[in-house]
Amino acid sequence: MQVAPSILSADFGILNEEVKSICDGGCDLVHVDVMDGHYVPNLTIGPVVVKSVAKVSTKPLDIHLMVQNNSFFVDLFAPLEPKYISFHIEEEKHPHRLIQKIRALGISPAITLNPHTPPEAIEFLIEDLDMVLLMSVNPGFGGQKFIPNVLERAKRLKEIIMKRNENCLIEVDGGVNDKNIHQLKDAGVDIVVAGSYIYGSDDRAKAIKSLQI
Ligand code: DX5
Ligand code: ZN
């Protein structure tokens, strides 16, 4: 299991140190939550701040867009050369076109599904994707309670992936901790995002390790 700590739960007053702490702690990716105050009722960071995160990070960036006008934000973040950019299927009229655009920029395209969206909604996009991000909370805030229907959604998504594109990874985001990590592993999940669990821990390296099962 790969682990992508979400910097949403970091102390932004000392952001460089907060990014270093998870990289030194052995994380696999650095998860960056981009919120625009329109698609979700919260506002976070733009490319100016993420540029300084990219500078200090020794791990690839995993950018999770929670915005309207995805294509505009892809253009803003592409110069930072993240590994992944994911966008919400619920907020995109032309997902197939946007996937091709992200790929052409040399970035791995990923689609995010909210807790109400069935994995079947993206069956015919799977062959073009490197990752699907399943939300296990409603997007917008860290520290929310895990919605367990993600386990069934992950299993159903895994079946589609085995049929259409075995290389596509499954990532889960929201309320992940050492209590639900084994269920997520059993459901076929490859990457977990964890914000409050890792940043709220006294020993971040140990918290990261507890999820790398
Ligand atoms: C929620 C974000 C998550 C959030 C996860 O909209 O996408 O990445 O930071 O935080 P926790 O792990 O605290 O639920
Ligand atoms: Zn996220």
What radius of gyration, in Å, describes the C-alpha atoms of the chain?
Answer: 16
Are the C-beta atoms of 115 and 136 separated by less than 8 Å?
yes
Task: Name the residue range of residue 18's domain.
Answer: 2-211
Give 167: exposed, middle or buried? Use CB within 10 Å, 0-12, 13-18, 19+.
Answer: exposed
For ligand 1, the distance from its centroid to the CA atom of residue 192, given in whole angstroms, is 10
Percent of the chain with pLDDT over 70: 100
**pLDDT value at position 64?**
99
**pLDDT value at position 124?**
98
pLDDT tens sequence across 96-155: 999 999 999 999 999 999 999 999 999 999 999 999 999 999 999 999 999 999 999 999
pLDDT tens sequence across 56-75: 999 999 999 999 999 999 99
Strand partners, 111: 87, 132
Question: Domain count of the chain?
Answer: 1
pLDDT tier for residue 4 given thresholds of 50, 70 and 90: very high
Model pTM above 0.95: yes
Q: What is the CATH number of the domain that holds 198?
A: 3.20.20.70
Q: 11 an active-site residue?
A: no
Catalytic residue among 28, 62, 128, 173: 173
Longest CA pairwise span in the chain (Å): 46
Is 174's C-beta closer than 6 angstroms to any atom of ligand 1? yes
Atom of ligand 1 nearest to the CA of 196: 13
pLDDT tens sequence across 23-54: 999 999 999 999 999 999 999 999 999 999 99
Most ligand 1 atoms within 8 A of CB, residue of 7, 8, 191 to mutate: 8
Q: 75 an active-site residue?
A: no
Residues 33 and 50: their CA atoms lie apart, in Å, by 10
Mean pLDDT of 179-206: 98
Mean pLDDT of 89-100: 98
**pLDDT value at position 163?**
98
Catalytic residue among 28, 33, 62, 130: 33
The sign one gets for the Cα dihedral 191, 73, 68, 9 is positive
What is the token pair recorded at 43? Answer: 């506002």
**pLDDT value at position 73?**
98
Closest to 209 in 3D by CA, of 44, 197, 32? 197
Residues 15 and 19: their CA atoms lie apart, in Å, by 6
Atom of ligand 1 nearest to the CA of 199: 13
Mean pLDDT of 170-184: 98
